[in-house]
């Protein structure tokens, strides 16, 4: 259930190694945990620290490792691919991104050619990883499959790609200071998805969101680049990338409540459901009540909070890289709006943003990408 750049349908991209497949009652106002850095306001207490620093420490470690990769001379022997083979590999990645993440893809067109290709390659790897758990052949999933996929990832970073799509990522990791840890962490998120279908509190859910979605932002920052005119730390930008991933994944969860329930999964914090007088049975019956509406209002508020935390970082990336990030941010916020427009019925309806609205969002995302961070805050 990974959040990958932009919402889309889930056709399968094959993983071809021959071994494994290509996921009106009185309502008491309850308290919902918010972001790790958000001060308590109104009914929202500060998030308890238990369980949160673990993910934040992952961010710090990845920042340090990727910064070292940038600073030191790369002594690895770069694999030699035939130029036509490599061009075709990236072209296939472009085609997959254009087909399955159309709006995000359009946003990448202002990036430099090398950054475009790298982001397409990362997108394809993330999508293939996600489809191991959520794709049409997910019923064949096992820990052995994920172990082999992780071994294959190591081969990519060692310059030994298995297939053409892997080769595009191999070329990317030798051109940009990418560290393998965020990729491994995403695979760990897939492992969580195969063995866990309930989350007792938001701390647990936050960690899951980091693994399956926050990692995408951490992979992307070294490719997108940080604008030199802004005197901010790399940690600030990486935190913003993490928060965008968290917001995207929380939005996916809220959009897909009914679909996940049909598979016996509930990605909503169990303690918060209980605070609103709700339980799994309320999710499975699919009946929208006032209690459910109040619960959903708080969940949507929290998702929007993470998008707000991501805004400044999105405007401090290299200028040519901001458009796709702003496109993703605004598009996911529109999904939250659509849930509200459906009167919070995400049990029997799936909120979506139509093609026309997506296209109309592109000029707004472009305008936001040109704005200074101080204006974004206002």
Q: Taking the CB of residue 61, how many other CB atoms lie within 10 A of it?
A: 14
Residue 185 lies in a domain: yes
Indicate whether 18 pLDDT > 60: no
pLDDT in tens, 129-161: 999 887 776 666 788 899 999 999 999 999 999
Sign (positive/negative) of CA torsion 365, 370, 374, 378?
negative
Domain count, the chain: 1
Gap between the Cα atoms of 88 and 85, Å rounded: 5
Please tell me the predicted confidence (pLDDT) of residue 243. 92
Which residues have a Cβ under 8 Å from the Cβ of 170 and sit 6 or more positions away? Answer: 79, 156, 157, 159, 160, 161
pLDDT in tens, 93-107: 999 999 998 888 888
Q: What is the pTM of this model?
A: 0.82
Residue 44 lies in a domain: no
- The whole-number average pLDDT for the span 314-325 is 87
78 or 265: which leads in pLDDT: 265
Please tell me the predicted confidence (pLDDT) of residue 49. 34
Helix (H) or strand (E) run with residue 291 in it: helix 290-314
Where are the alpha helices (H) located in 315-354, listed in sequence order? 322-341
Indicate whether 13 pLDDT > 70: no
Q: Tokens in use for 131? A: 């489809």
Please tell me the predicted confidence (pLDDT) of residue 45. 37
Gap between the Cα atoms of 348 and 287, Å rounded: 8
HSE-CB at 321 with a 13 A cutoff on CA atoms is: 23
Please tell me the predicted confidence (pLDDT) of residue 77. 75
**DSSP structure class, residue 40:** P
Residue 15 lies in a domain: no
Residue 150 lies in a domain: yes
pLDDT in tens, 266-277: 999 999 999 999
Indicate whether 355 pLDDT > 90: no
Residue 264 lies in a domain: yes
31 or 110: which leads in pLDDT: 110
Domain that residue 61 falls in: 52-376
Residue 2 lies in a domain: no
Residue 306 lies in a domain: yes
Q: What confidence category does residue 90 fall into, taking pLDDT thresholds of 50, 70 and 90? A: very high
Q: DSSP letters of 139-200? A: GG--HHHHHHHHHHHHHHHTT--SSHHHHHHHHHHHHS---THHHHHHHHHHHHHHH---BS
- The whole-number average pLDDT for the span 191-201 is 89
Q: Tokens in use for 158? A: 């060692």
Q: Tokens in use for 237? A: 């930008």
Least confident range from 16-30, 57-71, 271-285, 300-314: namely 16-30
Residue 227 lies in a domain: yes
Please tell me the predicted confidence (pLDDT) of residue 24. 36
Output the average pLDDT for the chain.
Answer: 83
Indicate which CATH number applies to the domain containing 304: 1.10.600.10
Please tell me the predicted confidence (pLDDT) of residue 125. 97
């Amino acid at each position: 259930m990974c959040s990958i750049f932009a919402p889309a349908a889930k056709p399968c991209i094959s993983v071809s190694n021959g071994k494994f497949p290509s996921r009106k009652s009185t309502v008491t106002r309850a308290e919902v945990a918010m972001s790790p850095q958000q001060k308590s306001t109104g009914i929202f207490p500060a998030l308890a620290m238990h369980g949160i620093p673990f993910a934040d420490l992952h961010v710090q470690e990845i920042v340090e490792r990727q910064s070292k990769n940038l600073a030191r001379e790369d002594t690895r022997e770069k694999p030699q691919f035939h130029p036509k083979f490599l061009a075709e590999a990236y072209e296939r990645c472009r085609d997959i991104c254009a087909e399955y993440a159309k709006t995000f893809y359009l946003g990448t067109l202002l990036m430099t050619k090398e950054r475009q290709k790298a982001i397409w390659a990362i997108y394809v790897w993330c999508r293939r990883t996600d489809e191991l758990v959520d794709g049409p052949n997910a019923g064949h999933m096992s820990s052995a499959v994920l172990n082999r996929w992780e071994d294959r990832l190591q081969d990519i970073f060692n310059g030994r790609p298995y297939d053409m799509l892997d080769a595009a990522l191999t070329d990317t990791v030798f051109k940009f200071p990418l560290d393998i840890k965020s990729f491994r962490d995403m695979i760990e998120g897939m492992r969580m998805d195969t063995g866990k279908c309930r989350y007792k509190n938001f701390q647990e859910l936050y960690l899951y969101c980091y693994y399956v979605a926050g990692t995408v932002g951490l992979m992307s920052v070294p490719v997108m680049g940080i604008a030199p005119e802004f005197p901010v730390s790399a940690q600030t930008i990486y935190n913003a990338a993490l928060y965008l991933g968290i917001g995207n994944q929380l939005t996916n969860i809220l959009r897909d409540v009914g679909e996940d329930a049909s598979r016996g999964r509930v990605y909503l914090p169990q303690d918060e459901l209980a605070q609103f007088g709700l339980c799994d049975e309320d999710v499975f019956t699919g009946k929208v009540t006032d209690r459910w509406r109040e619960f959903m209002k708080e969940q949507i508020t929290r998702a929007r909070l993470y998008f707000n935390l991501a805004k400044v970082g999105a405007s401090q990336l290299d200028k040519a890289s901001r458009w796709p990030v702003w496109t993703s941010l605004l598009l996911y916020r529109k999904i939250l709006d659509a849930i509200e427009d459906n009167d919070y019925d995400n049990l029997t309806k799936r909120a979506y943003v139509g093609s026309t609205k997506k296209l109309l969002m592109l000029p707004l995302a472009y305008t936001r990408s040109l704005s200074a961070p101080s204006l974004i805050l206002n």
